Amino acid sequence: MPDCLFCAIVAGSVPAFKVVDSPDGVGFLDIRPVFKGHVLVVPRPHVPELSALEPDLLPGFFALVQRVAAAVPEATGARGTFVAMNNIVSQSVPHLHAHVVPRTKGDGLRGFFWPRHKYGSEEEAASYASRIAGVLG
């Protein structure tokens, strides 16, 4: 899809802090993370929402989301993750993506109010991406 930011990231024509690049999808840091280490996982083909994802792609895509959800706490020191997906409403980019957000007890996240935290620098973002990618292998 020529005007899709996530398709451009998948294709490599737009830079991103990728943590995984596999046949099942691509994971990269959210540039406006809820907490540092917040990863977006997208399928390789342009798919606007979950209901449009081909059934044969579901197992691989969700296995990738599961792998990222396991890697994020180990890489960031978080206690767990919050995994979420919007369909059409609240999607800032109309390409299916799963949010994998690191969580710790008392982190202040309440319901669906997601305060955003910026990375202090590109080096800090690259460090988070590298640590998560390292856990993913």
Q: How many domains does the chain have?
A: 1
- Report d(CA 6, CA 1) in Å as an integer: 9
Paired tokens of 85:
């997906």
pLDDT digits 0-9 by tens, 36-88: 999 999 999 999 999 999 999 999 999 999 999 999 999 999 999 999 998 88
Structural domain including 33 reads 5-117+125-136
CATH number at residue 99: 3.30.428.10
Rounded average pLDDT over 17-35: 96
Polymer length of the chain: 137
**Hey, which residues are catalytic here?**
97
Q: What is the pLDDT of residue 116?
A: 73
Residue 29, SS3 per DSSP: strand
> What interhelical angle do 58-76 and 122-136 show, nearest 10?
120
Paired tokens of 114:
């997601």
- Report d(CA 75, CA 79) in Å as an integer: 11
Cβ atoms 26, 41 nearer than 8 A? yes
Q: Is the pLDDT of residue 92 over 90?
A: no
pTM: 0.85
- Assign residue 108 a region (left: φ > 0; alpha: ψ between -120 and 50; beta: otherwise): left
Cβ atoms 137, 68 nearer than 8 A? no
Q: What is the pLDDT of residue 87?
A: 83
Q: Is the pLDDT of residue 109 over 90?
A: no
Helix H or strand E encompassing 22: strand 18-22
Rounded average pLDDT over 92-114: 86
Q: What is the pLDDT of residue 110?
A: 72
Q: What is the pLDDT of residue 111?
A: 67
